[in-house]
Structure 1
Amino acid sequence: MLRNYITTSVRNLFRNKAYAFINIGGLSLGLACAILIILYVKDEVSYDRFHRQAGQIYRVDREITRENGNKVKGGYSGYLQGPRFKASISEIAAFVRVQETQVDIKRGSNIQTQKVSRVDTNFFSVFNFPLLSGTPGGLKEPRSVVITEDMAKAQFGTTDAVGKTMLLNVDGFVPYVVTAVAANCPQNSSIKFQVLLPLNMAPEEENKNENWFSFFLNTFVVLYPHADVKAVDAKMQQVFETDARQTIISITQKYNLKNLGLSYFLQSLTDIHLSKEAGANEGLSDGSEPIYSYALSGIAFFILLIACINFVNLTLARSLKRAKEIGIRKVIGGQRNQLVLQFLGESFMLCLASFVLAIVIAQALLPVFNRLSNKALSFSYLLDTKLFLGYIALFLVTGLLAGFYPALVLSNYQPVKILYGRFMPAGKNWLQKSLVVFQFVLASFFIVATFTLFFQLNYLSSQQLGYDDSNLVMVSNLNMSTREIELFERELLKNPVIQGVAPKNSGTSGTTVKVNGGTKINIAYETVNSSYLPLLKIPIVEGRNFLPDFPADSSHSVLVNETFVKEAGWKTPIGQTIHIYEPAGDFIVVGVVKDHHYKALTEKIEPQLFRMSSADGFLGMFYIKIAAHDNAKSLAYIEAAFKKVFPLAPYSYHFKDQVNAESYDAEKKWKEMLQFGALLIIFISCIGLFGLSVLSMEKRAKEIGIRKVLGASVRGVATILSGDFLKLIFIALLISTPLSWLAANRWLENYPYRITMSWWMFALAGFIVLFIAMLTVSFHAIKAGIANPVRSLRSQ
């Protein structure tokens, strides 16, 4: 019996190659998408779980409650939290601190800046990063270094690097001995390193209570099994308030605070990667959000569901052609359960073929998917036992979803009506039509979502920033004296291809200032000189710029932006006094700078303050305006001038407009993902519409024949047949339009600067859906219209 089922199923598939190809193709695309998304989600939830003590490792996080009631959580701590908490709380078994910093490495005449992690010597006893050679205790020596295999190959050409030396710029270039070589960090690790150095804390820093409020590294603690995390949180807060009592009093008095609003709590290591508030973006790597997993899982679910819907529609569409087979089987004694098993068997055979093809498609698309998702996934993940069982479950569920309903319907046909030629499928196919409506609701929804992302991204990338970022080169050097800054500027301006130079602080700092005798304002803090604003063409709307020949500007004057003036409530800002806490002092406003987007347009313009650089230098970055006609020549000259003035500093450069464009990489990736999802959903939906059109033409073959005998034209027949499907598409558009409008506006609320949804976006999405649907349906409609009516009437 089983052999008969298999033989019949195979014959049916080969007899109807086109339908089998469409069924397998649609299912395989849905399954390939599901496989890739499962790989992504599995990687997301597996972060940091490879450590043996992962369930006992926690990071010491902090929460700051501002005076306005807003709470800000972060993962940074300082020198003291680890040792002080370990000494006073019995539930803590060990602690380890991880500080990300940069060090220059010299190899021959080449100098490059390398990210390094300074860690406590017990790092490898807390975290399970395998060593290829050397010992876990190798970091106990002050001038020891542990490197990964990739770094070993880059520095020495081999992984056999233990005992060799590297020149690191730590208070001058000094030799460090490689004491161990570690395997490259796993893809799913929040801690990623290439170079590890021992974290050496000076004795005076250990006893300095002010370090309770110095946040620059991550502190991890290991709790004993069965420790109560909430109880440890309470004990940490008690230790902090007791140990830092005098410092807390001093700080609250200095900054005129009602209370400090600082508390500590523990965050599980395995929760860091997907945390929204205190994530892996503070010295750790690959911070993400669960919304990505939810959204991609939703896309995969809908694509797979649509693929199953298509299978149902196509199977039912072919039911008329198999009606006689079903009737004969029933007449000769075939039971309904046997027919159900046969059709389910065919379904599972198609699913098996689809799975094999899906794996091939997923493997081919994996590099593209890795680029979109910023991952390094591989099919070795499939070797995971739980994941393998998950795929088996997916196969079984897909086979049942795709085959169970058609099997019940087909096995219920009445043999007498079939064999006497009186059989026609009952009902008006409400289920199939409803499923097609559902498919095109999703299709139009995804098109609108893609349009929204496209136009919002275009708006963000084309909006005027309020300053000129074209042909602007950024060159960094963290340690520069005033003499070196001036020397580099003069060297650059010797060449006419260099149109201007402006030093500034590296990055953007934040601080709090006091105005009007007591009002506090959180600001972005910039240190520049008099050439900065003219170079970037940022207008001064009131007052004046800094004056290079006026020494008091560097010690007493500041510029503020328009948002600062609004928040301070000033009508006449020039001459107002601002108290800055660090460095402490009162400063006079001499000019108001026009608001400009110094951050990406995903963030609102905040109050901004400019100070003039002091005589000490140490700004950290140069903005260099170059001629537009010859970038290569300009860049070569900048590099030569840099190496001449800073021979021991590593050189690198970035174009400001490219850095600005990279601010929207997340939006670009989402746009590409939605485009890919929309194309798949539309393609698979059209397959379903194709199946429904076949069913409709076969059911209405006699009607079409009569219409043609009575003189109906091919165009008229095609219009009548297509009209039914137009109704379905219009219903889908009526449902999807308000849903997509609500979703798009809700999503746009996350952006302070955003587009306004227009009616034509929905009209264009509707036109695309209608056009594609009509192309799909018109083939069978025209084919039915030109068919010979005598044949259909004779057979009916």
Structure 2
Amino acid sequence: MLTNYLKIAFRNLTRNKVFSVINIAGLSLGLTCCMLIVLYTKDEVSFDRFEENKDQLYRIQVAMTDEKDTHVIGSTNAIHGPSFKQEIPEIKEIVRAQSSSFVVKKGAELLNENILFADDNFFTVFSMPLLYGNPKTVLSDINSIVISEDVAEKYFDTKDAVGKTMALKIDDKFETFNVTGVAKKCPQNSSIQFESVISFKFEEARGWTDKEWLGFYMNTFVLLHEKANYLTVVPKLDQVFKTKSAVEISKIKDFKQKIHFDLQPFLNIHLDSESAEIRNGLGKGSSPIYTYILSGIAIFILLIACINFINLTVARSLKRAKEIGIRKVVGSQRKQLMYQFLGESFLLSFIAFSFAFVLTQLVLPVFNDLANKQLALSYLLDFKLVTGYFILFLITGLVAGFYPAMVLSGFSPAQTLYNRTKLTQRNYLTKGLVVFQFALSVCLVIGTIVIYSQFKYLTNKDLGYNDNNLMSFSIGRGGGRKESLAAIKQELENTTGIKTVAAFNGNYNGTGAKIEKGSIDFGYIGVDDNFLNALQIPVVKGRNFSQSFTSDPMESVMVNEAFVKEAGWQDPVGKEINFEWKNQKYKVIGVIKDYHFASLKEKIKPLLLTQDPNYGLGTIYLKLNSTDIPETIKTVEKIFHAHVPFMPFEYKFEDASNLKRYETEAKWKQMITLAAILSIFVSCIGLFGLATFNAETRVKEIGIRKVLGASVASIATLLSTDFVKLVLIAIVAALPISYYAANIWLEDFPYRIEISGWYFALSALLAISVAILTVGIQSLKTAMMDPVKSLKSE
């Protein structure tokens, strides 16, 4: 019996080649999308599961509440972890981690390396295997360093680098560090990411760590005892903080901020989109929304493919009606017919699955690039994944084949043998499924247009300053940098190809101060006199800093328009800002126009500019002429090396850096576009199959119409009209859904496009055009047939 089922199934596949290809192609594409998303999701949920202490590992979080809102961060100061461990018995270990960039010598070459400072127990608390070295002692020495196998190959051409030395630039000289361990490359599904690790004792010995309870700039991880309940530990964190910080807080006048400490489970860090703060030893942060969106797209495309299968199978039911009638007459039971048709469905699904595996392997490199992953079928091929694929196979076979099997096995033998079965003429389910699949496709097309438009808006919006040909590079801070900066600037100002030279401190730090109406939080940067000129930021009130006013560095500041608005000032020039934390008062001498110093995904915040001499300037901005930029860069590099001999010359252009801020949106633009193309393609091949069958069943009708004088155009229109109507209904259904979804996505952007009616008009026009083209080709072909051939048997 099974052999008979298989024979019949293969005969049907080979006899109906067009429909078999359409079904297999559609299912293969849908399954490929699902396989890719299963890999992606499996990788996302597998993050950090390999950690031996995963159930007892936490990161300290801090929630800071003021009069306006609550801000949650994942950072602490150096004093927090040790103090909590000393006072709270449930805490077994703490690990502090802070990353910093160092210049490293490789022969005569100077390279920048990102190095992690961590406590001595880093390799015993975290499951980061060492190829060489003892996890308990590799960081016991203050001048020890543990490097990854990649760094070992890079500097020593071997992985066995224990005992070798590396020269790191500390302040203005190079110090020797002994390689005491070589770590395996960090797993790709690990939140902990590092290239080199130095003992935290080195940072403490240099006095680089703050001991203030109100400082937050590094990660602190906590390992609890196995029987400890973290819910009982959290209140103790607050109690220790309250006791230990009392003296420090009492020195701050009118301190109203509420600070609450919490423990974030280590397994939650990767998908924490709110307070992940992927830095200081953490990497590869993500958001669960990506998984939801990609899963939704994959399910949509697979649904469309299954709908094609159902529609084509039901549509071709008349072709097999007599076969079913004869089978029933000779004794076939309904369940046997269902087994036959379900068997055909599973056979077709199995073939589609085979093609999907091949397609998945072929497109994985492209998908990895889009998703910023390093996925491979072999990497994630475990029992759970295989089980998931098998379940996906069963679901696909059942979804695609169950309804057709129910319909076909239910035909009456008397009606089928007398040609009285007219199911396909009034099959509302088939029409409804066509509407559904095209509605999904139109939603994806509109989504593509909205994402593309928002990305274009983000990358073309006026930032409030001119980033064209604006180059920057760092000379560091401290030591003799002040003298070097002055000399470098003087030479650069006399260099052909450079319009303006300016300097600032290199970072937009956050701080707060007192004003007449209370307190205000703002960004805080140090600049020189030419900063505004180099960036072409206009002064809207007051004046710029000037060397003509010798008191500017110690008494004057400038603010942006957002600062003025937040402070509620009508006449800001001359207003006083009190920096109580450093016992210094400043007067506002000017207001600059708001400019986007952060990405357009953040609102412009209050900003203060200062020339405080204690705020070292280490970044130089150059406004270049547009001619012969490469030659100008070479000249700048020579000047740099003449004054900063122990640093590599690394530069960037601001326009490229600004574009890089929207890499995520660029990736999503590509993904959604690809998904929209796939969904339309799968929908169209299904529509083409239905149109082909519709034409086959109306061959004699068309022949008679032509004999009676109908034109090719009128016949083609007749055959196409029904399908175009279905597409129009799909468009009407998709518009409100798309509008709602687009608004939800755009809510995350403070600066966003307005959804225009032409987005929907263009999507509708595209869907109708593709549908007319798809159906029209087959309709014209049928309309042009010789009526003699179609009517010769009558």
Q: Distance in 2 between matches of 1:636 and 1:204?
A: 39
Q: Distance in 1 between matches of 2:271 and 2:765?
A: 39
- 1:438 corresponding residue in structure 2: 436
Query: In the alignment, does 2:559 pair up with 1:549?
Result: no
Q: Distance in 2 between matches of 1:397 and 1:459?
A: 42
- 2:183 corresponding residue in structure 1: 182
Q: Distance in 2 between matches of 1:215 and 1:733?
A: 52
Query: In the alignment, does 2:610 pair up with 1:611?
Result: yes
Q: Distance in 1 between matches of 2:210 and 2:292?
A: 44
More divergent stretch after superposition (77-86 vs 208-217):
208-217
More divergent stretch after superposition (398-407 vs 273-282):
273-282
Is the Cα contact below 8 Å between 2:146 and 2:198 reproduced in 1? yes
- 1:754 corresponding residue in structure 2: 752
Alignment of 1:371-770 (within 5 A): 371-425=369-423, 428-480=426-478, 481-516=481-516, 518-614=517-613, 616=614, 618-770=616-768
The Cα shift of 1:15 comes to 2.0
Residues 1:130 and 1:720: Cα distance change in structure 2 (over 3 Å): same
Q: Distance in 1 between matches of 2:570 and 2:259?
A: 35
Q: Secondary structure at the match of 2:201?
A: coil
The Cα shift of 1:738 comes to 1.7
The Cα shift of 1:302 comes to 0.7
Q: Distance in 2 between matches of 1:453 and 1:660?
A: 18
Q: Distance in 2 between matches of 1:67 and 1:210?
A: 27
Q: Distance in 2 between matches of 1:141 and 1:664?
A: 42
* 1:57 maps to amino acid: L
- 2:200 corresponding residue in structure 1: 199
Q: Which runs of 5+ in 2 are unaligned?
A: none
Aligned residue pair count: 789
- 2:777 corresponding residue in structure 1: 779
Residues 1:618 and 1:112: Cα distance change in structure 2 (over 3 Å): farther
* 1:726 maps to amino acid: V
Deviating runs (4+, > 6 A) in structure 1? 201-206
Alignment of 1:136-175 (within 5 A): 136=135, 137-171=137-171, 172-175=173-176
1:144-173 deviations in Å (ceiling 9; x for gaps): 111111000000011011111111123431
- 1:110 corresponding residue in structure 2: 109
* 1:362 maps to amino acid: T
Is the Cα contact below 8 Å between 2:94 and 2:221 reproduced in 1? yes
- 2:219 corresponding residue in structure 1: 218
Is the Cα contact below 8 Å between 2:482 and 2:617 reproduced in 1? no
The Cα shift of 1:599 comes to 1.9
The Cα shift of 1:276 comes to 2.5
The Cα shift of 1:204 comes to 9.3
More divergent stretch after superposition (693-702 vs 429-438):
693-702
Is the Cα contact below 8 Å between 2:557 and 2:588 reproduced in 1? yes
- 1:121 corresponding residue in structure 2: 120
Q: Secondary structure at the match of 2:115?
A: strand
More divergent stretch after superposition (88-97 vs 527-536):
88-97
1:107-145 deviations in Å (ceiling 9; x for gaps): 112112211111111111111111111211211111111
1:487-508 deviations in Å (ceiling 9; x for gaps): 1111222321222210101121
1:486-545 deviations in Å (ceiling 9; x for gaps): 0111122232122221010112111112222x4222211121011111111111122111
- 1:34 corresponding residue in structure 2: 34
The Cα shift of 1:789 comes to 4.2
Q: Distance in 2 between matches of 1:611 and 1:21?
A: 69
- 1:45 corresponding residue in structure 2: 45
Is the Cα contact below 8 Å between 2:514 and 2:578 reproduced in 1? yes
Q: Secondary structure at the match of 2:513?
A: strand
Residues 1:436 and 1:626: Cα distance change in structure 2 (over 3 Å): same
Q: Distance in 1 between matches of 2:119 and 2:785?
A: 82
Question: Which residue of 244, 259, 262 maps to 1:262?
Answer: 259
Is the Cα contact below 8 Å between 1:273 and 1:280 reproduced in 2? no
Question: Which residue of 280, 285, 288 maps to 1:287?
Answer: 285
Q: Distance in 1 between matches of 2:198 and 2:204?
A: 18
* 2:176 maps to amino acid: P
More divergent stretch after superposition (183-192 vs 78-87):
78-87
Q: Distance in 1 between matches of 2:787 and 2:414?
A: 27
The Cα shift of 1:310 comes to 0.8
The Cα shift of 1:478 comes to 2.2
1:258-303 deviations in Å (ceiling 9; x for gaps): 3x31111101000001112221424221111111111111111111
The Cα shift of 1:460 comes to 1.4
Q: Distance in 2 between matches of 1:22 and 1:427?
A: 22
1:740-795 deviations in Å (ceiling 9; x for gaps): 12222232232222222221111111000000011111123223323344555566
Q: Distance in 1 between matches of 2:645 and 2:205?
A: 34
Is the Cα contact below 8 Å between 2:448 and 2:672 reproduced in 1? yes
Query: In the alignment, does 2:238 pair up with 1:240?
Result: no
Q: Distance in 2 between matches of 1:426 and 1:303?
A: 25
The Cα shift of 1:386 comes to 0.8
Is the Cα contact below 8 Å between 1:91 and 1:227 reproduced in 2? yes
Q: Distance in 1 between matches of 2:203 and 2:362?
A: 54
Residues 1:426 and 1:530: Cα distance change in structure 2 (over 3 Å): closer
Q: Distance in 2 between matches of 1:242 and 1:534?
A: 49
Q: Distance in 2 between matches of 1:449 and 1:323?
A: 42
The Cα shift of 1:205 comes to 10
What is the percent sequence identity of the aligned residues? 46
Q: Distance in 2 between matches of 1:202 and 1:149?
A: 24
The Cα shift of 1:209 comes to 9.4
Q: Secondary structure at the match of 1:97?
A: strand
The Cα shift of 1:397 comes to 0.6
Q: Distance in 2 between matches of 1:562 and 1:88?
A: 46
Is the Cα contact below 8 Å between 1:432 and 1:692 reproduced in 2? no
- 1:353 corresponding residue in structure 2: 351
Residues 1:272 and 1:795: Cα distance change in structure 2 (over 3 Å): farther
The Cα shift of 1:580 comes to 2.4
The Cα shift of 1:203 comes to 7.8
More divergent stretch after superposition (384-393 vs 420-429):
420-429
Q: Distance in 2 between matches of 1:758 and 1:409?
A: 44
* 2:238 maps to amino acid: Q
Q: Secondary structure at the match of 1:507?
A: coil
Q: Distance in 1 between matches of 2:203 and 2:284?
A: 31
Is the Cα contact below 8 Å between 2:73 and 2:277 reproduced in 1? no
Q: Distance in 2 between matches of 1:416 and 1:386?
A: 49
The Cα shift of 1:356 comes to 1.2
Give the TM-score normalised by the residue count of structure 1. Answer: 0.96
The Cα shift of 1:200 comes to 0.7
Residues 1:794 and 1:419: Cα distance change in structure 2 (over 3 Å): farther
Give the TM-score normalised by the residue count of structure 2. Answer: 0.96
The Cα shift of 1:693 comes to 2.0
Q: Secondary structure at the match of 1:673?
A: helix
More divergent stretch after superposition (152-161 vs 380-389):
380-389
The Cα shift of 1:424 comes to 3.0
Is the Cα contact below 8 Å between 2:496 and 2:632 reproduced in 1? no
Residues 1:490 and 1:330: Cα distance change in structure 2 (over 3 Å): same
Is the Cα contact below 8 Å between 1:190 and 1:280 reproduced in 2? no
Q: Secondary structure at the match of 2:222?
A: strand
Q: Which runs of 5+ in 1 are unaligned?
A: none
Residues 1:280 and 1:564: Cα distance change in structure 2 (over 3 Å): closer
Q: Secondary structure at the match of 1:138?
A: coil
Q: Secondary structure at the match of 1:618?
A: coil
CA RMSD for the aligned pairs? 2.0
* 2:469 maps to amino acid: N
